Amino acid sequence: MTTFAPARMRRTVLEMAYAGSTVHIACAFSIIELLTVLYRHHLRYPNNDPRADGRDYLVLSKGHGVMAQYACMHELGWLKDSHIQSYFKDGTDLKGLSDSRVPGLEVTSGSLGHGFSVGVGIALGLKRKGTDQKVYAIVGDGELNEGPIWEGALVAAHHRLENLMLIVDKNGFQAMGTTDDVLALGDLPAKFSSFGFETLEVDGHDEAAIDAAIRQLWAAGPTKPKALIARTVKGKGVSFMESVNLWHYTRLDPQSFAAAVSELGFPGALK
Amino acid sequence: MREAFSNALVRLALADSKVLLLTGDHGYSLFDAFRKSCPDQYINAGIAEQNMVGMAAGLARVGFRPFVYGLAAFIPIRTVEQIKLDIAHDDLPVVLLGDGAGFVYSHLGTSHQSTEDIACTRAIPQLQVLSPADRFEMTAAMDYAYATNGPVYLRMGKADLGDVHPGPISYLQQGRLLKVCDGQADWPGLIATGSMVRAALDIATSLDLMIWSAPFLKPLNEDDVRAAAQATNGLVTLEEHSVLGGLGAAVTEITSEHQPTRVLRIGLPDRFSEHCGTYAYLLRENGLDTDTVRNRVETFCQLLATNSIALA
């Protein structure tokens, strides 16, 4: 079985969102391929243990996309079908934003501009310890409005954190509109390059291209932190959600759930 | 007191290479000894406090013991959310050092003054809040903060007021009050914290008060506060902080539930300081100079003497 199949993970997200009547579907869909490639090819978890000392760190700074990470944790067997089916039920552990008390999630985020700084600290600590562990921090493009991101970028470059990769989910939307309309970000690759990052831009839904870009970044600039600007589509995978910002807030009803599932063309995600 | 702080930090860092000092570009000469003794454990994180606190959480996650230094106006005030979410939520062993609390930066105005930091930090779960009164409490507080292995906010106020204890304190017991002066049981008891313990002792030269120092704002030992209320006639709290949410609030939260008594809370009224001036001037402007405090305590005594309901 191919693990981390994007269509199955999107199906898992839909199952969760429908079971819990939750929002934030579209911002989970935009990072599915990024997570697919990271979990399948890059992240190392000794003994498949989400808390293993020697692990790499995936910091989901844009905590709103957490359902995509739950889907990966389901692929890994860290979450069971029952976790998916009981999402948002009273007394359960999986929240609507990333919570570090859940094994597999490294930071508590959702309030934006936190996770990246924590990731910078983890990377600085690992570098001081002399390990080869790596830190990936996924931030949203809307999240780049937050000041601490840029504080962290200065610090990452100053301390030459070559073990840190910032991945921007550049889906072009934030809560109230497009990033261009709300607070234009300008030329992101140029910005991060000027901050001292080794920077690449990639189609964030092309698995082979993502994998190649990550490898190229790790191979280049040994004293620089890395930035991968991933052009993505908010709501990717379901036509009526794609680039429709309403799906940041909309809950599935039986009709939209059925329509989305049939578009994915993937048999049930649950075992 | 600042020397005691520096000595303790150097001692802890020499004993444990995982101890790191992070500063937001503050503490120019304060860290000379540290930078000389442990240069590799010193990180100037730049004028970027929010990132610095988040980064400290990341360092703690991979086994380091960060001590994060800034002016109290910035650490914790500017970074309350990072302290809540990145550090306290996960019970990470990070010590936050807020220097110059209260009116230390008297001439610089509200930007650099900090009279709301206790209130803001006390409500954050899992975070302990300490406020040492002299060099002996400072040394013990630093040892406690390291040993407790969880999140701590250590408030450092006016540091050159002199000792309140006769000698070193072997160790602090969590939440406990320290008695610094004996007095008469028919007078109010006075509980003070930080810089105001010295002021309380100055007042006690003319008023026969039992005085306790509260090196902990949180937790605050309930039994000790009850015992203080039982041993005296009413309580006075004294702090270089707003009367809202600080020591006075912490004491009355306990007495109101467990040992009802009259409590006079002396601190900064709910206001910003207004004028420029010396530290002594700012205390006067805000009613925290010894003459004003003494007068208020005397008036409180008269009130207690004439109001039998208050003594019930």
Is the previous residue joined to B219 through a cis bond, with omega within 30 degrees of 0?
yes
In whole angstroms, give the CA distance from residue B84 to residue B95.
13
Please name the residue of chain B whose CA is at the shortest distance from the CA of residue A148. Answer: B51
Give the whole-angstrom CA distance, residue A29 versus residue A6: 9
Q: Are A118 and B86 a contacting pair at CB < 8 A?
A: yes
Q: How confident is the model at residue A248 (pLDDT cuts 50, 70, 90)?
A: confident
User: Do A155 and B51 count as a contact with CB atoms less than 8 A apart?
Assistant: yes
What's the mean pLDDT when you consider all of chain B? 96
pLDDT for residue A223 is more than 50: yes
Q: How far is B166 from chain A (nearest CA, A)?
A: 41
Of B58, B81, B82, the CB nearest to A120: B58
Examine the pLDDT at B168 and tell me if it is beyond 80: yes
With a CB cutoff of 8 Å and minimum separation 6, the contacts of B276 are B106, B107, B109
User: What are A134's two structure tokens?
Assistant: 């790596």
In this prediction, residue B306 has a pLDDT band, given cuts at 50, 70 and 90, of confident
Q: Considering all CA atoms of chain A, what is the largest pairwise distance in Å, rounded to the nearest integer?
A: 53
Which residues from B are below 8 Å from A100, CB to CB? Answer: 89-90
Domain boundaries, chain A: 6-263
Q: Which residues of A touch B82 (CB under 8 A)?
A: 114, 117, 148
Residue of A119, A110, A13 lying closest to A63 (CA atoms): A110
A113 chain-B contacts, CB cut-off 8 A: 50
Q: How far is it, in rounded angstroms, from Cα A163 to Cα A125?
A: 10
Residues of B in contact with A120 (CB under 8 A): 51, 54-55, 58
In this prediction, residues B158-173 reach a mean pLDDT of 95
Q: Chain A: nearest CA to B1, how far in angstroms?
A: 30
Question: How far is Cα of residue A70 from the mean position of the Cα atoms in its chain?
Answer: 11
- How many CB atoms within 10 Å of residue B305? 12
Phi-psi sector, A173: left (phi>0), alpha (psi -120 to 50), beta: beta
CA distance A82 to A85: 5
Check CB contact under 8 Å for A114 and B86: yes
Work out the pLDDT band at B38, boundaries 50, 70, 90. very high
Chain A CB contacts of B13 below 8 Å? none
User: For residue B299, what are the CA distances in angstroms to A213, B46, B236, B295?
Assistant: 75, 49, 12, 6
Best CA proximity match to B175, nearest among B120, B97, B102, B251: B251
Residue A249: CB atoms within 10 Å: 11
A266 pLDDT above the threshold of 80: no
pLDDT attached to residue A99: 96
Tell me how close the Cα of A147 comes to any Cα of chain B, in angstroms. 9
Return the DSSP state at B213.
Answer: E
For residue A86, give how far its alpha carbon lies from the nearest alpha carbon of chain B (Å).
24
E strand or H helix at A58: strand A57-60
Q: Which residues of B touch A126 (CB under 8 A)?
A: 62
Phi, psi of B137 (to 5 degrees): -65, -35
Give chain B positions within 8 Å (CB) of A124: 43, 55, 58-59
The two structure tokens encoding residue B69: 């230094």
Q: Can you name the CATH fold of A6-263?
A: Rossmann fold (3.40.50)
What does B16-41 look like in DSSP terms, one character per residue?
-TTEEEEESS--TTTTHHHHHH-GGG
Closest partner residue to B62 (CB to CB) among A108, A129, A154 is A129
CA pair distance A4, A36, nearest whole angstrom: 5
User: Using alpha carbons only, what angle is made at residue A239 by residues A236 and A240, rounded to the nearest 5 degrees?
Assistant: 110
Which chain A residues are Cβ-neighbours of B50 within 8 angstroms? 113, 117, 147-148, 151
pLDDT above 50 (res B312): no
- Considering only alpha carbons, which residue of chain A is nearest residue B82? A114
Here the tokens at position A225 are 């932190």
Distance CA A93, CA A72 (A): 16
To the nearest whole number, what is the mean pLDDT of chain A? Answer: 95
Chain A contact probe: residue of B17, B49, B50, B55 with most A CBs at under 10 A: B55
For residue A151, list chain B residues with Cβ-Cβ distance below 8 A: 46, 48, 50-52
Nearest chain B CA: its distance from A10 CA (Å):
29
Phi/psi for B97 (5° steps) reads: -110, 110
Interchain pair B55, A126: CB under 8 A: no
Place of tokens 């109001």: B307
Express each pLDDT in B293-304 by its tens digit: 999 999 999 998
CB atoms within 10 A of CB A188: 18
For residue B305, the model assigns a pLDDT of 84
Instruction: Check residue A265 and give its pLDDT.
Output: 81
Beta bridge partners of B237: B191, B265
User: Which positions in chain B touch A106 (Cβ < 8 Å)?
Assistant: 61
Average of pLDDT values for A40-57? 97
Inter-chain contact B55–A152, Cβ cutoff 8 Å? Answer: yes
- Cβ <8 Å between B61 and A118: yes
How far is it, in rounded angstroms, from Cα A242 to Cα A248?
11
CA distance B44 to chain A (A): 10
pLDDT of residue A269: 62
**Res B310 pLDDT > 90:** no
Question: Which of B16, B25, B51, B92 to substitute to test the interface with A, most A CBs within 10 Å?
Answer: B51
Residue A65 DSSP label: G
Query: Which residues of B fall within a CB distance of 8 Å from A148?
Result: 48, 50-51, 54, 82
Task: Name which of B51, B64, B90 is nearest A148 (Cβ-Cβ).
Answer: B51
For residues B58-82, average pLDDT? 98
Phi, psi of B3 (to 5 degrees): -65, -40
Q: Give percent of chain A with pLDDT exceeding 90.
A: 93
d(CA A230, CA B42): 35
Tokens 């993937």: give the residue. Answer: A266
Chain B interface disruption, residue of A105, A118, A136, most B CBs within 10 A: A118
Grouping H, G, I as helix, E, B as strand and the rest as coil, residue A53 is: coil
For the stretch A76-115, pLDDT in tens is 999 999 999 999 999 999 999 999 999 999 999 999 999 9
**CB-CB under 8 Å, A125 with B64:** yes
Per the DSSP assignment, residues forming a β-bridge with B263 are B235
Nearest CA in chain A to B20: A125
Contact B229, B255 (CB under 8 A): yes
Chain B residues contacting A via beta carbons under 8 Å = 43, 45-46, 48, 50-64, 81-82, 85-86, 89-90
To the question of pTM greater than 0.90 for the whole model, the response is yes
* B197 neighbors B135 (Cβ within 8 angstroms): no
Rounded CA-CA distance A248/A241 in Å is 9
